[in-house]
Each structure stands twice: as C-alpha cells, then as structure tokens.
Amino acid sequence: MKEPIKWTLNRMPKSDDRQLAVMSLPNVAKARFFHSGFPQYSITPLAQLEGMARYLGLGGLYVKNEAHRFGLNAFKVLGGSFAMARYIAKEMGRDVSEMTYDYLTSGAFRQDFGQATFFTATDGNHGRGVAWAAHKLGQRAVVHMPKGSARPRFDNIAKEGAQVTIEELNYDDCVRLAAAEAAQTEHGVIVQDTAWDGYEEIPSWIMQGYGTMAGESAEQLRQIGVNRPTHVFVQAGVGSLAGAVIGYYTNLFPNDPPRFIVMEARAADCLYRSAMAGDGAPRSVDGDLKTIMAGLACGEPNTISWDILRNHVSAFLSCPDWVSARGMRMLGVPVKGDPVVISGESGAVGMGVIAALMETDEYRDLREAVGLDRYSQVLMFSTEGNTDPMKFRKVLWDGEYPTV
C-alpha cells in the first residue's frame, strides 16, 4: 500500500499581512528589469497540456518549465543573482536599477566595488545559481551542500569556479555553517533563500528575484487567453518560492486571487505541520530529511514567506516520494499531442498531486474543498529539469517509487 498524501485546509488566524508588500508589482518589475539585462535571459516556456487537462477533467493545465532558465536547468538563479545586485547596490549607496549586467561586468565596477564573497548552503540548484552569478559578475562564491548531495550537482557548482564542499550536516545546519563563515570573512555575505530573525533583507530580495518567473507566467497565460488562473499549485522547501509566487499573484489579483495549494516533501513538511497546529506559528522539522525531492528537503520555514502563506494558502499538502516520481513520468511521457516537460524530482510534485486529486475519489474531499473541476485553469511550476541524471533514469526507466 502506498502512503497517502496528507493534507489540511488553512484555518489559521490571519496576521497583519505586512510581508505581502515584499512581492509588490513594482518590486517584481525591478527584478525583471535586472534579469532581462543578462545576455542569457529569455522567457522560459509555459507548456499548455491540453490533452492532460482533458484526461484529468480540468479546463486547462499549464506548466512553467524552468529547465531552460539561463542554461542552468533550474529557476533558483533568479533569486541569488538579484539578491547579489541589491546587496551591491546597497553597499554602494545606489539603486538596483543602476546595477545593470553591463555595469556589473565592467572594469569600472571592479574599481568602484571590488570583490565580495557570497556564502550559501544548497542541495544543488540555489548554489549553482549563486556560483554562476558570482562567476559572471567577477565575485567569489563559497557553497556548502548537505550530506547525501548528488555528485552531478556538486560538479555543476564546481564548474562555475565556486569553492564547494559536501558536509556531514543536514541542509539547515549547512545554512548555519555558511552564515558563521560569512560573519568571519571580510566582505563576506550569506545569500540564503530562508529568513530568520535578524536575517530578512536578503531573503526578501531573493523572493523578488523569483517574481520574474511568476510575472512571466502571468503574461504567458494572458497571451493564450487565460486572464487569471483559478488555481496555483506550488511546491515548498523553506517556502521562499511559494511565498514569492503566492505574493505576486495575490498582488496581481487583489480582489479575486487564485486558490493556492502548497506541497511539501513528507520528510520535510514543516509548513504542513505548522498549518496542522493551527495557531499561526511556524514549526520546524529536524533530522536527515531524506527524500527524493532534494530541493524541498528543508525543515525550517522562511519567516517572511510563512507570513504570506498563512494568510493566503487554501491547503497545505505533505507528499510521499511516489507523488513526485509519478509527476516526473507523466510530464516526461505526456498525453499524445502535449509537449514533453523534462522535470526533476523537486519540479514534478505538482503534476503528481494534481493527478492524484483528479483521478480518484481518495482525495475527493480536498478536490471539492479547493473547487477543482472541469472549469479550472490550473498553473504549476516545474522548477528544475534533469539535474540528477542517474536518479532521473531510475525513476523514468526503472520505475523507482511506484504508485502501487
């Protein structure tokens, strides 16, 4: 018997919602302007899965495919690069709009600013993005990875010239290590997509960077005649991506926002546990956090994002690994006529969840509670491509993590 998806509706008391302003439309526009200056920038595809939508009984299903982002196979670079630009702008007493790619890669910038060292912890994608941006902008990067990290992800970070290690620590302890080293290093700064008391500015900038992806998706939907998605499914580790997407879409449609469903890996379901507790306070999960969804293996919520999520999410889901594996197979071998989406373990969980909700009556109560039906226009985010080739083959070729 496969483990079921656990879920809870959001019945938490609301806060004053002051963090929603982090993802204001002007803030996201600044990030989009910055990213568009990179020669590697292009809008990533929005896959319209018409056949899958019909098969599942939905009005429409749309997958934002981040495997094409800057040639890095994942969305994370959007956050780290924009946070670097905002940090540099603040240090120089200038506005981030002046931190164009051309300026940041110029000799004049090197004379004006010099070099900083950007520290971070990562399962792979965020660290690769920080390392890539640091390399492009002539800065230094130090990256720590948790135990069990995949060698291909390590190699991809090292190729960008970063100093990278795999530690005998879980993700959250790697964050603490990176923060401690940054504090002891001249011109050292930690660029982490999780926030805690006293460390909130840089995570808010990272979230704004992720807003580029959300803003692109809204434009792409409008271009195909979908003014507003009715449902947005978004995965969460610390919750930064989820808070960014939900914050953006709530600001975009303040009077009629979509329904938001947040999904986590079972081994690191801190947001789900927080929602289950029901009092509005965030909870943490510790231990090894072992899951196929390495990018979601984070046990301590981002406090900025949590404030957004508790106010705007309809349901929180805790997902066993088979959910992601099924999503990878469904996206990689789609209904005839639909585009193929190569989605990694942390990118495909939305597809597995949407299918589980629509295909059987096991999750009928949740389906009805969030109003999923044949009129629903559903958006999800495939946040990474094939970033761990051996694991990808085991799932797609060998049927690892079956649904029965």
| Active-site amino acid positions | 76, 123
Q: Is 178 exposed, middle or buried (0-12, 13-18, 19+ CB in 10 A)?
A: buried
Q: Contact 249/257 with Cβ under 8 angstroms?
A: yes
Q: Which residue has the tokens 């230094």?
A: 140
Q: Rounded to an integer, what distance in angstroms lies between the CA atom of residue 125 and that of residue 141? A: 14
Q: What is the helix (H) or strand (E) element at residue 261, kind and residue range?
A: strand 259-265
Which residues pair with residue 7 across a beta bridge?
317
Q: What distances in angstroms separate CA 122 from CA 103, 165, 191, 234, one per listed residue?
A: 28, 10, 10, 19
Give the total residue count for the chain. 404
> Helix, strand or coil for residue 55?
helix
State the DSSP string of 224-253.
Answer: TT-SS-SEEEEE-SSSHHHHHHHHHHHHHS
Q: Rounded to an integer, what distance in angstroms lies between the CA atom of residue 193 and that of residue 211? A: 13
Residues 6+ apart with CB under 8 A from 326: 351, 352, 355, 356, 401, 403
Q: Contact 167/288 with Cβ under 8 angstroms?
A: no
State the DSSP string of 294-314.
Answer: GGG---S--HHHHHHHHHH-S
CA 262 from centre of chain: 11
How many C-beta atoms lie closer than 10 Å to residue 186's C-beta?
A: 6
Angle subtended by helix axes 270-277 and 303-312, to nearest 10:
50
How far does the chain reach from its first CA to its final CA, in angstroms? 6
